[in-house]
Structure 1
C-alpha cells in the first residue's frame, strides 16, 4: 500500500467523523457520487410485500450481458445497515452480473437508525423466502440454485438469513458468499479479535465507526448478542450452505470473518476462506477498479463454477474443506 493511499485512508479514518450525527449527509454524498447509469435495458425493478403487508421491499434485477448459469445471486449490500441502496450499488451489481454470468437480485432493505433490527433483517429474509418459494413474483422462474452474497453488513445479513432459514426448517440457499462479513457484536477493547485493534484506526473503516453502526442497528446491547445480529455466537452452525468467505488484510473485521468460517467448517459445512492481501475493507466496491478486484471476481466465478482449486491466484487461503 503506497503512502498516498495511506494518507487518504487516514483522513477518512478521522475520529471527528460521527456516523450517528452525520449519516444523512454521508447518504446524500453517496447518492451524488454513485448515481446509477442511465442505460437500464438489463435492469428490472420489482417490489415484494413484507410478510405483514406493512410495506413494499424494493428489489432490482440485473441481467448479465452473457448468461452462463441459471444460478441467481441474491445480493445484500453493505453500509453498516445504515448507508447504501440499490441505486448506489447499481454499478457494482451490473459488474457482478457481467463478471459471474448470473442474474443478480439486489434488495433495498429498510435502514437503521430509522428502522433498527430486525427491520432490515426481516426484509432480507422475506425476499429470500419469496425467491425460494415463488420466484415468479420477482420476474425470475428458477431459484433452485440460489446463492446469497453480501459485503460487510450485507454479508452479516446473508449469514443471518441462512441461519434463520435453517432454524425455521425452510429450504436453504445453494451457496453463500460472505465478503468481509460482520459476525460479532462488539468492536471495542472487549473484542476477542486482534484485527479490531490492529486495523481499527487508519484504514477507512474504524472500530469507532463499527460501534456507531452497531448502536444504530441494534441499540440494545443484549439484542446485539443474538445470532441473527452476531452469527458467530450461534450455538449450532450445522446445516449451512456451502460457504466462500473473503476477508481483507487491513480490515478490522478480518479475524471475525475468518473465525466464523472456521466455526462453520468445524460444524461440518463446506467452507473456503481467502484473505485478499494488501486490501482494505470495501476494496471490491470502491470507485476505482484494481487488480485485486479482478482477482476476487475470478475467485468468485471459479467458486460458483466449482473449479476452485489452488489459492495462489487469489490470495492466502485460510479455510478448509471437510
Structure 2
C-alpha cells in the first residue's frame, strides 16, 4: 500500500499565519492581565532527544497539592505557549494551582502523531516527577487541617492532577487521559 502524496505547504504562509496569530494574541493579552501574580519558570523536557519547552506558573498562595498541565490550541499548527500565556496566568491566579504550559511540536514541519507523542511523553515525565515542579501532596493539609488525621493512612482526597487545553490542546488532553495507563489521574479536564 502506497503512502498518500505529501500535503503541499507554503512555508512562508505558515510563518505569516503564526506571526499574525502572535500579534493578535499579544494585543488581546495586553487588555486582559498586565502581569502574573506569582513566579514563572521556563524549562525544557527531553522527549526522544528533543527539548520540549514548558512554562511553570506558580501563583502567590499556591495550593501545591494541585497541578494542571495545559496544552494550547491552534489547530496543531499555529499559536504557542506565548499566545496563551495570559489565559494560563489568569487560570493559575484564580485557582491558586500550579499550571504547566507545554509547547508541543507543530505541523506542517512535524507530521502526526508527533504533537500527540510530545504531549503524552511530557505529561508522563511531569507526572512521574511532579514534586520537582512544585507539587506537594501534603500541602493540602496546610489548607485543610482536618485532612491531617488521614496523613498516616496515605489518604488525600484533596490532591489533584489535571489536564486542560483549548481546541487542539483539548483534543490532546482528552487523548492523553485515554492513552496513558497506570498513571493515577485524580481529575481529568478537557
The answer to whether the 8 Å contact 2:58/2:97 transfers is yes
* Aligned residue number for residue 29 of structure 1: 20
The answer to whether the 8 Å contact 2:45/2:51 transfers is yes
The CA distance in 2 between the partners of 1:100 and 1:31, in whole Å, is 26
In the TM superposition, residue 68 of structure 1 has moved relative to its aligned partner by 4.2
Is 2:176 the partner of 1:161?
Answer: yes
Q: Matches of residues 32-47 of structure 1 in structure 2 within 5 Å?
A: 32-35=23-26, 39=35, 42-47=39-44
Q: 1:65 to 1:155 in 2, by over 3 A?
A: same
In the TM superposition, residue 28 of structure 1 has moved relative to its aligned partner by 0.2
* Aligned residue number for residue 82 of structure 1: 77
Q: Matches of residues 13-24 of structure 1 in structure 2 within 5 Å?
A: 22-24=13-15
Q: TM-score, normalised by structure 1?
A: 0.44
The answer to whether the 8 Å contact 1:75/1:149 transfers is yes
1:218-269: per-residue Cα shift (whole Å, max 9, x none)? Answer: xxxxxxxxxxxxxxxxxxxxxxxxxxxxxxxxxxxxxxxxxxxxxxxxxxxx
Query: 1:56 is matched with which residue: 51, 58, 67?
Result: 51
SS in structure 2 opposite 1:79?
coil
Q: TM-score, normalised by structure 2?
A: 0.72
* Aligned residue number for residue 184 of structure 2: 172
SS in structure 1 opposite 2:180?
helix
The answer to whether the 8 Å contact 2:80/2:103 transfers is yes
Relative contact order, higher structure (CA 8 A, sep 6+): 2
1:263-309: per-residue Cα shift (whole Å, max 9, x none)? Answer: xxxxxxxxxxxxxxxxxxxxxxxxxxxxxxxxxxxxxxxxxxxxxxx
The two structures, once aligned, show a CA RMSD in angstroms of 2.3
* Aligned residue number for residue 166 of structure 2: 151
The answer to whether the 8 Å contact 2:98/2:134 transfers is no
Number of equivalenced pairs: 153
Q: 1:30 to 1:66 in 2, by over 3 A?
A: farther
The answer to whether the 8 Å contact 2:67/2:135 transfers is no
The CA distance in 2 between the partners of 1:113 and 1:62, in whole Å, is 29
Structure 1 ranges of 4+ moved more than 6 A:
none
In the TM superposition, residue 93 of structure 1 has moved relative to its aligned partner by 0.7
1:61-86: per-residue Cα shift (whole Å, max 9, x none)? Answer: 11223424621010011111111111
Gaps of 5+ in 2: 1-8, 138-158
